[in-house]
Amino acid sequence: MFKRMEKNIVHNFLSQYKYLVPGLLLLFLILIDWFQGQWEYYISAERLIYLILAKGGVLVALALTSIKKNRNLYIVIICLGISSFIGYGQRLIELENLELFIKYLSPFIYYYGFNVLLQTKESYTFLIKISGICIGVALLSILMGMVFNIESLVTYSNRFGYKGFFKRSIDASYFIMYAFLFTYFVIKSFRKQLLLYVLLLFVSLIIGTKVPFFFIFLFFGFLIYESPQRNKTLSFLFFSFLSSVFLVYTFFLQNIKETYLKFQTIYEEHGIWASLTSYRSILLSESIDFYKETWKPINYLFGGKNPSWMLIEMSIFDLFVFYGAIGTLLYLFFYFKTYFKNINYSFQVCYIFVVLASILAGQFFFNPSNTIWFATLALILQHKKVTSHENIFNL
């Protein structure tokens, strides 16, 4: 009798608070990444095995949960698995190739896994709150790094920039783009939107990477095109951006000069593209030559990354190297079919801007630290309760 009562109590408790699970899981995954970044700086540069196992365990649990509920993720895994096996053969089960294959699945696993967990309006509401809190903490950590010059929060050791709690500069770059989309499409409060836009424009300057500027240029260009009559807000934000430039230039003049000289040297030695892409254009050229010599005709269709050769760090090109032409088209078909389902046109356009920006940065499709942000954002916007909203450009 007591066992039955105990089971009923546990069941009632879980039923009452299960709406918290998606938000807490997102928070858990983000905190793991932030903790790992600080641990690697202060304690050891080696990756923490138990954190890797924890993240891997979450991916496996989400994948199994999703497959039980619907067949979409199962179809994606089977199709991409067959495509990859044709290109790699038995080499697909080698540790590095298998790890990268699983990472490329992370956008789908996070999406379909969280989709199963997000069953009520309360679960979406709580997820939005957690996402907003994480954005606030992340922005605060970047500002703290700048104000107190905390070494573990610095983006680069040899040039200007502050990444906050993020492990890598690329994580901070994608976070900025995600935060812009979250602010525009999710947040309804005029004051919160305006404050976040100003903070994001300022932080975009101090993280020290170039990719966010490419996205911001496209993003605000689209907003001007979409709402040309709403010029007051855009004018205010443009003024805020110029003010931010002035402040950063005033307080970090020496750092900015040193950074400028580094890129000037790259420009003089290797040209404009090497300077704009931070040597990625050179690596792309070298990778083309390398794979011309090592690839067979089948690899051009179904991929075949060589573990001994580094990543290009340009998302679409890395995707092609891993999956080949047919595999890449298949991957992108599944990806956009999933993320653009039942979602408004404006978000689709702005999301394409993120993908275009990722060509200059890499790791967009396979870095779980980044894919978790965009997977949950797509789910939030696909939920009809929050897709219709007011924002500061529609007032």
**CA 22/CA 125 separation, integer angstroms:** 10
Burial of 229 (0-12, 13-18, 19+ CB in 10 A): exposed
Q: Average pLDDT in the 267-292 region? A: 81
| pLDDT band at residue 231 using 50, 70 and 90 as cut-offs | low
CA distances from 159 to 154, 155, 209 (A): 9, 8, 10
Write the burial class of residue 140 (CB in 10 Å: 0-12 exposed, 13-18 middle, 19+ buried).
middle
CA angle 329–279–268, rounded 5-degree value: 140
Euclidean distance between CA atoms 145 and 155, whole angstroms: 9
151 vs 386: which has the higher pLDDT: 151
pLDDT in tens, 119-159: 899 999 999 999 999 999 999 999 999 888 898 999 877 77
Rounded CA separation 358/131 (Å): 22
Residues 13/17/22/28 CA torsion (nearest 10 deg): -70
Report the distance separating Cα 289 and Cα 275, nearest Å.
21
Provide the 10 A C-beta neighbour count for residue 211. Answer: 25
Q: Is the pLDDT of residue 260 over 90?
A: no
Lowest pLDDT segment from 45-49, 76-80, 360-364, 377-381: 45-49
More confident position, 160 or 184: 184
The tens digit of pLDDT for each residue in 313-323 reads: 899 999 999 99
Question: pLDDT band at residue 242, thresholds of 50, 70 and 90?
Answer: low
Question: CA 125 to CA 131: how far, in whole Å?
Answer: 10
Task: List phi, psi (to 5°) of 389.
Answer: -150, 165
Residue 9 has pLDDT above 50, yes or no: no
Q: Is the pLDDT of residue 254 over 70?
A: no
In one letter, which amino acid is 322?
A: F
**Crossing angle between the packed helical segments 211-226 and 190-206, to the nearest 10 degrees:** 150
Percent of the chain past pLDDT 70, that is, above it, reads: 82
pLDDT in tens, 295-307: 999 999 999 999 8
> What are the structure tokens assigned to 115, written together?
């989709």
The whole-angstrom separation of Cα 171 and Cα 169 is 5
| pLDDT at residue 291 is higher than 50 | yes
The pLDDT of 49-64, averaged and rounded, is 87
pLDDT of residue 41: 83
pLDDT at position 384 = 60
**15 has a pLDDT exceeding 90:** no
pLDDT over 90, % of the chain: 50
pLDDT digits (tens, 9 = 90+) for 90-121: 899 888 999 999 999 999 999 999 999 998 99
352 or 274, higher pLDDT:
352
Q: Is the pLDDT of residue 385 over 60?
A: no
Angle between helices 315-339 and 368-382 (to 10 degrees): 20
